[in-house]
Amino acid sequence: MRRAIYPGTFDPITNGHLDIIERSTRVFDEVIIALLMNIEKKPMFSIQERVEMIQQVNRWKHVKVDTFQGLLVHYAVSQKAQVIVRGIRAVSDYEYELQMALMNRRLEPSLETVFMMSAEEYSHLSSSLIKEVFVLGGSITGLVPQVVEERMRSKLGR
């Protein structure tokens, strides 16, 4: 049983994240999308809203949604996961990801970090960029699932 954790803030989940999840389901028996209850980032959506949106777009039987606090490696061990999945969008992601992967390995050598290259069409995406474009009136169609776009509309009263 190969269980992987796909961690992040997911504020909100984008088609880029879904692409990585789809790829992960082909490699692992079970994938847990783990939302960090992040005190540093000021989210647009509450943790409950983010979980709900992910549940609404989760079309895979072996993909679960969960939340965590504290160290990712502690959470991964508590879930009996062997792997952390991270998406790499561009060369600029590499340095930060390398740092995290090495620190996580030092903290918990039994855990492996697996990097997946995101699809080209999503390699420029980030949740913040999507929020910025949307708030300023630009189109985000095709970049996020429809339910997410609808939630963003109602949040801004559009």
> Active-site residues: which are they?
17, 41, 89, 127
Residue closer to ligand COA (CB basis): 78 or 128: 128
Residue closer to ligand COA (CB basis): 11 or 30: 11
Q: Which residues bind ligand COA (CB under 6 A)?
A: 7-9, 11, 14, 16-17, 20, 36, 71-72, 87, 89, 100, 103-104, 118, 122, 125-128
Residue number, nearest CB to ligand COA: 16
- Min CB(109)–ligand COA separation in Å: 14
Residue closer to ligand COA (CB basis): 30 or 118: 118
Q: 35, 51 in Cβ contact below 8 A?
A: yes
